[in-house]
Amino acid sequence: MSADIKTYLFPTPLSDASALPLRVQIRERVLAAIGSGLLKPDDRLPTMRALAVHLRVDLNTVQRAYAELERLGAIRTLRARGSFVSDTPPHPDGALKAAEARALAASTIARSQAAGLDPEAVVIAMRDLLALPPAPSEPESGSAKG
């Protein structure tokens, strides 16, 4: 399946007014589509040239975004075939994971502030999204979440 540029990745244009560089905005939108399940493993991404034309950005900007996505293990690029969502991202070592988590947190704080949102409100929203109801086999009484 091929990713529909407009529907999945870029239903709205990139923001020139954003504090985030265009390549980071591209990377984050692709990661968000993968994380939300809109893009599944082996889905084909738009060609770099097609995406650059659609977004009206320089081809080098898209190439850098795709290179970062590949370095993160989110996509893989096959010569003369295109770029595809990875089956499973590689598991980096603990120090690398911690550094990437910190960088993602810093990016999220910057994005929330740039959007006029309180970063604490974003943290609360993230905690709400992470809260899972107890599995059917677990008893609900006797333990409190803290």
CA distances from 38 to 50, 67, 137 (A): 19, 21, 30
Domain count, the chain: 2
Same structural domain, 14 and 80: yes
Domain end residue (candidates: 29, 62, 85) = 85
Same structural domain, 61 and 106: no
What letters, b where the CB count within 10 A reaches 16 and e where it falls short, cover 88-112?
eeeeeeeeeeeeeeeeeeeeeeebb
Query: Considering the domain boundaries, does residue 138 fall inside one?
Result: no
Percent helix, strand, coil in the chain, to 5, is: 50, 5, 40
pLDDT attached to residue 89: 59
Same structural domain, 107 and 76: no
Residue range 15-44, pLDDT digits in tens = 887 778 899 899 988 988 888 888 899 999
Task: Provide the residue range defining the domain that includes 110.
Answer: 94-131
pLDDT attached to residue 106: 86
pLDDT attached to residue 143: 45
Query: Considering the domain boundaries, does residue 66 fall inside one?
Result: yes
- Report field, pTM of the whole predicted structure over 0.85: no
CA distances from 100 to 56, 103, 105 (A): 29, 5, 8
Confidence of residue 78 (pLDDT cuts 50, 70, 90): very high
